[in-house]
Chain A
């Protein structure tokens, strides 16, 4: 049973980048925009975070580098889809192609260079305590992700700008006609999504494996996109969903390492599980009809005012 605490610690670390990226994407989608470029923005964030840590050794600065790089990448998406009304699906895919190529090119000089992992936030007596580390054993981005779950929920549900953002996502034309700038709101949302994806990407070299490797996010940006739908656009469900996904990813490895009945499941099924689970959840929430009520009505559609 004492294995439970290490499993939780590993899964929380594994889930954190997905949670951060998904929180960003949630806000983007709530404003009515679908950005499928999360994976690309994460990769740009990862190389920027790596470089920041490599040159300064200050992980907070490195996270900032990741955020800035992710946001900068998202500007390309914002400009094309919002200012030029380009198709969001295609632009998002192109952004992922771009981010993959750009990060590989920028990262080439950093191969075979190690960096320092970001240490835990709390002092070692707490962070390394055999039991208490389940609460105190994480580094800052983990606690930041908890905070952001709450902050995003509070912003969307309890504040006026959050209400405006949701209004823009639900019915852009009426929001426009009452005088809100649909474009501005969506730009800010896209930038926020980019910054969050960038931080999520920076978590890979800073929290999980302190090196730079091409395509090191290995598809987790797509899991983040799936997670938003899985959570039916609700921040606290996102938290639960991210940890569920993290549990599936982590349990595979603990089951294989430890033996037992779960280790008989083929690894291909483990790998496919998060995606299949997302489809099943999509179906379930559709049957209960609350997805259709909670999905932003304007999701993925370009804003084209008639005048």
Chain B
């Protein structure tokens, strides 16, 4: 079975035929062409897969009003610039660049195509026709941490990351803070493996951690490798990242953080169709449904489920924020005073670890 743009177009059109007659009625005869570029393969079972799911969601929701195209495995740098120009030149009026490293290229190409709207995921450079979007994955980490705090028996959690970027640091800290609210003895061990896609190395990192007493592993790489090791070794659990990975670890996935970019893509495309698009800088999470939690695994008891749900709904209604003080860093210095919540800018440049996180090399 191969998926190409045409089959997706057909499926998308069929799925969208009934519920969205309203929006389709307003659609112009010319569909809005929307382009996507991915840094990896759409078959990575993780980050790029999730973005592509968002693209499919967009087609399902807006049907004939949009026509989407994607390019996968786009290297960050000049190659990306060329692909962006290619998409712009082919008449795509809205282009989503889904990886941080595409930022410079987006800014350059946006200057050359002022009538094309660009949206860049997880970046920081904005322009008149360049919007930014990101997801508050750390909100999902707080739910995961709550579960881990209840279920861990050894009190040792681990977090396998690729590179120590703020996104990852934030996730580690959210996991540690939420787990230690339940059990203050818990420690989190971060391990960076310096690659986004070397599943065998990721699996070995998980083995090394489990051999040293870790019983719950979170990972921030692009695939299910660590989760599969957790399943194989029968430790308490792990979490899916990017997509529901329960197929890879039916007993062991406690829950998963699902990147649900679809609503964000629909909102932007609709704004372009309506002529109301402005360069926004959004950082949406559970509340906006851009971050979703996957189904709870069989090991999550009713009591733990209730605690996790409380954290989840608290973040949706705004009553709970994981980065509200008092927060100490792992040297014991108080970084955030009691009652104060860290600003988005502080979070987005986070380069220190909270108490309970072992300092990585």
Contact = CB atoms under 8 A, between A and B. Distances in A.
Interface in A84-130: 104, 107-109, 111-114, 117
B42 to A, nearest CB: 8
Contact of B49 (A111, A216, A268): A111
Given A256-B360, A259-B358, A111 B43 contact: yes
Contact of A112 (B45, B193, B204): B45
B191 interface: yes
B340 interface: no
B1 A267 contact: no
B195 interface: yes
A271 B163 CA distance: 14
Nearest to A250: B204
Interface in B201-219: 201-205, 207-209, 211-212, 214
A256 to B, nearest CB: 5
A254 B214 CA distance: 12
B2 A109 contact: yes
A236 to B, nearest CB: 25
Nearest to A14: B204
Contacts of A220: 200
Given A209-B199, A211-B223, A257 B41 contact: no
Interface in A244-288: 249-250, 253-254, 256-259, 263-268, 271
Interface in B1-30: 1-3
B175 interface: no
B55 to A, nearest CB: 16
A6 interface: yes
Which of B3, B43, B193 counts the most A-chain CB atoms under 10 A from its CB? B43
Contacts of B225: 209, 211, 213
Interface string B323-354: 00000000000000000000000000000000
B158 A209 contact: no
B45 A6 contact: no
B232 A117 contact: yes
B205 A253 contact: yes
A218 B197 contact: yes
Contacts of A256: 191-192, 205, 208, 360-361
B49 A213 contact: no
B52 to A, nearest CB: 11
A263 B358 CA distance: 12
Contacts of B193: 253, 267
Given A256-B208, A257-B205, A257-B209, A214 B44 contact: yes
Contacts of B223: 211, 213
A170 B349 CA distance: 60
Interface centre among A257, A259, A266, by most chain B C-beta atoms within 10 angstroms, is A257
A10 interface: yes
Contacts of B197: 213-215, 218
B200 A14 contact: yes
B212 A254 contact: yes
A109 B228 CA distance: 20
Nearest to A104: B41
Contacts of B194: 267-268, 271
B248 A211 contact: yes
A107 B43 CA distance: 9
Contacts of B360: 256, 263
A257 B43 contact: no
A257 B214 contact: yes
Contacts of B204: 10, 14, 208, 249-250, 253
Contacts of A3: 211-212
A77 interface: no
Given A211-B223, A265-B361, A267-B193, A257 B212 contact: yes
B45 A111 contact: yes
Contact of B228 (A211, A217, A271): A211
Interface string A158-180: 00000000000000000000000
B116 to A, nearest CB: 30
Contacts of B198: 216, 218
B189 interface: yes
Contacts of A117: 232
A204 interface: yes
A70 to B, nearest CB: 18
A210 interface: yes
A278 to B, nearest CB: 19
A107 to B, nearest CB: 7
B361 A257 contact: no
Contacts of A264: 361
Interface of A: 3, 6-7, 10, 14, 104, 107-109, 111-114, 117, 204, 208-211, 213-218, 220, 249-250, 253-254, 256-259, 263-268, 271
Q: Which 10 A-B pairs have the closest CB atoms?
A: A111-B43, A6-B211, A218-B198, A253-B208, A257-B208, A209-B203, A208-B200, A209-B225, A209-B199, A254-B208
22 contacts: A3-B211, A108-B3, A109-B2, A111-B41, A111-B44, A111-B49, A112-B43, A114-B224, A204-B199, A208-B200, A209-B229, A211-B224, A211-B248, A213-B225, A214-B44, A217-B200, A218-B195, A249-B201, A254-B208, A256-B361, A257-B158, A265-B361
Given A220-B200, A253-B204, A263-B360, 8 more contacts: A3-B211, A14-B200, A108-B3, A209-B199, A211-B228, A218-B198, A257-B208, A257-B212
